[in-house]
Amino acid sequence: MTQRLDRLKESPSQTAGPYVHIGATPNWVEITGVWKEDLGLVIAGPDTKGESILIKGRILDGSGESVRDALVEIWQADADGLHPSPAEMRGNADPAFTGWARQPVSDADGSFSFKTIRPGRVPYPDGRLQAPHVTVWIVARGINLGLHTRVYFSDEVEANATDPVLSRIPDPARRSTLVAPKSMCGDIPGFTFDIRLQGEGETVFLDM
């Protein structure tokens, strides 16, 4: 017999409000003394192995307007495809690489940028190699649960074509929302990744 589900009411949802910045980036909101500097400011230093790249973009709402109070985190493997994590069992990751960074979006145009290194390929659970990618996590006022997505690189054509995650998105137009076009930013490659939260051209978000 099917269980009745009308006995309990749904709990009220909570949104990620301004307190996200207070807890995650207190120095940025001028609350000093919590810690010396906000965590996640630097993901790769001068001794980090690999090719330096810049990931930049904007966060836009359904009407194309800038989202100005978001918090963005990136997570990725090092140049050899290893994660700096106790759960990494395939080898030792680059000790000069943190594997993650965090940045509040404060500019009026909703922009963000991370200087990092091009990640190596990591295996999918079934052993297939994934294309180089960076995981992105976004929270903002009005978002009940943090949104996960990925940045893939437009110059990794062969790897992208066989990536197990990209291949699960049948619509080429939707798939392209995860592939950042390349342009030089000074002397390093830059990749532009605009995140559209909803509406036309909405970025693909992943259930992770």
CATH code of the domain occupying 38-196: 2.60.130.10
Residues 5-15 pLDDT 10s: 566 666 665 56
Predicted pLDDT at 34: 85
Question: Tokens 């940025």, residue?
Answer: 28
Reported as a single tens digit per residue, the pLDDT across 115-147 is 999 999 999 999 999 999 999 999 887 777 889
How would DSSP label each residue in the chain? -PPP--SSPPPPP----THHHHHH-TTTTT--SSSSS-TTS-SB-TT--S-EEEEEEEEE-TTSPBP-S-EEEEE---TTS--SSTT--SSPPPTTB-SEEEEE--STT-EEEEEEE-----B-TTSPBPPSEEEEEEE-TT-SS-EEEEEEETT-HHHHHT-TTGGG---HHHHGGGEEPEEEETTEEEEE--EE-SSTTPPP-B--
Answer whether 63's CB lies under 8 Å from 199's CB: yes
Share of the chain above pLDDT 90, in %: 65
Predicted confidence at residue 33, as pLDDT, reads 87
* Per-residue pLDDT at 2 exceeds 60: no
The pLDDT score that the predictor gives to residue 27 is: 86
Least confident of 17-31, 55-69, 99-113, 116-130: 17-31
**Is residue 1 predicted with pLDDT exceeding 60?**
no
Residue with the larger pLDDT of the pair 204 and 208 = 204
What's the pTM value of the predicted model, to 2 decimals? 0.88
